[in-house]
Chain A
Amino acid sequence: MELLERFRAGDLEAFEVLFRQHQKEVYAWTVRIVRDTGIAEDLTVETFWRIYKHRVQFKPDGNFRAWARRIATNAALDHLRHTRQEIALPENLPCAPSPDGAVRSETRDLINRAFQELPAKYLLVANLALVEEESYAEIAQAAGISLSLVKVRVFRAVRILRKKLQSLQAEVATK
């Protein structure tokens, strides 16, 4: 029996083989969304747990990689939705070096804050499209949404970011 068929039938050894084949890729995708190595590890395990749980829904002639990536994206999105309220300041966000001082650290903090305060579904596409520079098609496939919806969400995310930045700058100016 083929590996994917054995996995679908609940064979733990087949699942282990698939896990070892795909864990790096799932982790790499997830860490780019959540931007935290520890959380990305937990979410990788969560992703494979969901994969195993819903194995009967997988068609053995289907694309396991794409299926795993979609489940990973959903798991990461669930995480972003649940942690939105808890994030005050993005201390774990890697900041880009600014050798020419083009953007001062205060401004960087404001941008980071505005970025982290985006609603989860906008943060997901904004992060992948604008920071990680993934193609819209790749994001659409991973998130299970249409290409046009990805474009709409990127537009809206940019609009929200602009508004947030303006209000945060006004807030700082009045202090």
Chain B
Amino acid sequence: MSNEEIKDMKELLKQAVAPVPDTELRRDLWPKMLSRLDAQPFPVHSVPWFDWVLAAILSAVLIFFPGSIPALLYQL
């Protein structure tokens, strides 16, 4: 495909799809932003899923094999 074809398509599009005529923002969006922030506060901490899996595995080991606790403490 040549640049000429791109140019032709550009001309065709220009006749059918005009550039957006007015890109001026008519109002302040800060109040809307504040509502959005109020509606969806950010989580203070987001713990990755694999951390939860590790914690679950460790808990299971400690519950089902309590004998491993001294070994674990020795390693710490």
Contacts and interface: CB of A to CB of B under 8 A. Distances in A.
Contacts of B26: 37
B25 A108 contact: no
A105 to B, nearest CB: 10
Contacts of B42: 52-53
State the main secondary structure of chain A at its contact with B: helix
A32 B40 contact: no
Contact of B17 (A44, A48, A95, A133): A95
Contacts of A35: 20
B30 interface: yes
A38 to B, nearest CB: 11
Interface string A52-64: 1100000000000
A81 interface: no
Interface string A111-126: 1100100000000001
A-B pairs, 5 with minimum CB distance = A111-B16, A96-B18, A28-B23, A27-B25, A103-B15
Interface of B: 1, 5-6, 9-10, 12-21, 23-26, 28-30, 32-33, 36-37, 40, 42
6 contacts: A19-B33, A48-B33, A93-B17, A131-B17, A158-B1, A161-B13
